[in-house]
Amino acid sequence: MCANLPLDQILQGDCVEILERLPEKSVDLIFADPPYNLQLQKELWRPNQTRVDAVDDDWDHYDSLEAYDAFCRQWIAACRRVLKDTGTLWVIGSYHNIFRIGALLQDLGFWFLNDVIWIKTNPMPNFRGVRFTNAHETLLWVSKFKGARYTFNHHALKALNDDLQMRSDWLLPICNGPERIRHNGQKAHSTQKPEALLYRVLTAASCPGDVVLDPFFGSGTTGAVAKKLRRHWIGIEREAEYIRVAEERLAQVQPLSEEDAVYALEGRAPAKTRRLPFGRLLEAGLLQPGQSLYYRGERAQAAQVRADGRLMLDGLCASIHGLASQLSGGAPANGWLAWYYEDENQRLCVIDELRQRLLADSHGAA
Ligand SMILES: C[S@@+](CC[C@H](N)C(=O)[O-])C[C@H]1O[C@@H](n2cnc3c(N)ncnc32)[C@H](O)[C@@H]1O
């Protein structure tokens, strides 16, 4: 890791100027939630004569589309300089800005990996009833150039999605309820993003220990999730008031244990290791259907192995990864490290040992 990176800090100022002072090729992932340039001309009112709490902040105003484009070109180029060649950039936006940003990304040499649609399960209605309810935002995910190596934790995402491959349409609610930071009843930041969105982005495209940078830090959502998932983070924000909000928020975040965060390393393991399904242990006779496996080595949490390789515990039935995830409250889990078996000396041993044994045997035989 680069020695002079200001890790786990919020840097106050203009993101272009600050990015230009950071070392080249030093960060693993950038999540950018730039101004939308909504161009709101006047206040919005509901039919019942209450005012809509819309995004009308000064930081969202640009004199013209040209001025907005010029600013975006600068920050995107500055991001590209600090991103490692193996790093990826995510940008979130709405129809107001995302097409302009998409074209700039291509012009500046980035390579599209996906566009992800965040479908809001609880969007704000179109109060005047003159258009469709605007119920989604778009995330662009790009690597630095065509053919670049990059992180994609396929296994962790699949585990997160009940063992189904994660799709590019994400149904998640907007940030509301207790997660929404308020001061005297007013939103502390008009565009606070839901942590669930960042949880998915960081799980997909970074590993514990990586450096995640957000040039438009706002209320600090990216930093809060990065800290929780044991990634390093760097936030850049111009407004002192938002920095105060973010600092207070980050001070309250507890990182996951190292073991819980380690699942993402699975995505880095050699292909040979990743391909071994749990069922192979049954086929090879290293475990038997009906045998007990103990969650995190706790005898009180014993699951039974079914003949199809799934585990049963207290009415729950899922893969080793799925059940471990359910038992840990929904966080992604690496079942190979979560379950223990009893050996011939009544010692509890992690099942990953059996996997390693089988892999070593099959390697020797090949
Ligand atoms: C869309 S908001 C980001 C919200 C954030 N994702 C969150 O969850 O709270 C954009 C933020 O960028 C900040 N900003 C705008 N222009 C900036 C610039 N040139 N340099 C640094 N920050 C800037 C604004 O103050 C605002 O807080």
Q: What are the residue ranges spanned by the domains of the chain?
A: 9-266, 273-365
Q: What is the pLDDT of residues 105-126, one digit of tens each?
A: 999 999 999 999 999 988 988 8
Residue 151 CA, ligand 1 centroid: distance in Å? 26
85 Cα: distance to centroid of ligand 1 (angstroms):
25
Please give the pLDDT value at position 315: 92
pLDDT value at residue 340: 95
- For ligand 1, atom 5: residue with the closest CA: 218
**Range among 54-68, 195-209, 258-272 with highest mean pLDDT value:** 195-209
Q: Is 218 in the pocket of ligand 1 (CB under 6 A)?
A: yes
The token pair that represents 254 in the structure block: 């507890």
Query: Is 239 a pocket residue for ligand 1 (Cβ < 6 Å)?
Result: yes
pLDDT at 366: 31
How far, in Å, is the centroid of ligand 1 from the Cα of 61?
A: 12
Tokens of 336: 């190979």
Distance between CA 284 and CA 279 in Å, rounded? 9
Per-residue pLDDT band at 87 (split at 50, 70, 90):
very high
| Token pair 């013209």: residue | 64
Confidence of residue 319 (pLDDT cuts 50, 70, 90): very high
Q: How many angstroms does the Cα of residue 183 sit away from the middle of ligand 1?
A: 18
Name the least confident of 6-20, 69-83, 348-362.
Answer: 348-362
Give the model confidence (pLDDT) of 229-257 as tens digits. Answer: 999 999 999 999 999 999 999 999 999 88
Nearest in space to 323 (alpha carbons), one of 284, 357, 278? 278
Q: What mean pLDDT, rounded, does the chain reach? A: 88
Is the Cβ atom of 79 under 6 angstroms away from ligand 1? no
- Calculate how far, in angstroms, residue 38's C-alpha sits from the geometric centre of ligand 1: 14
Nearest CA to ligand 1 atom 13: 216
The pLDDT, as a whole number, for residue 359 is 77
| CATH 3.40.50.150 is the classification of domain 9-266 | yes
- 336-348 pLDDT, tens per residue? 889 999 998 898 9
210 lines ligand 1 (CB under 6 A): no
Mutate to test the pocket of ligand 1, among 22, 216, 249 (most ligand atoms within 8 A of CB): 216
For the purposes of burial, counting CB atoms within 10 Å of the CB of 321, is it exposed (0-12), middle (13-18) or buried (19 or more)? buried
The closest of 185, 181, 170 to 90, measured between CA atoms, is: 170
Q: What is the pLDDT of residue 365?
A: 37
Which mutation among 55, 59, 241, 253 tests ligand 1's pocket best, with the greatest number of atoms within 8 A of CB?
A: 59
The pLDDT-based confidence of 163 (bands split at 50, 70, 90) is confident
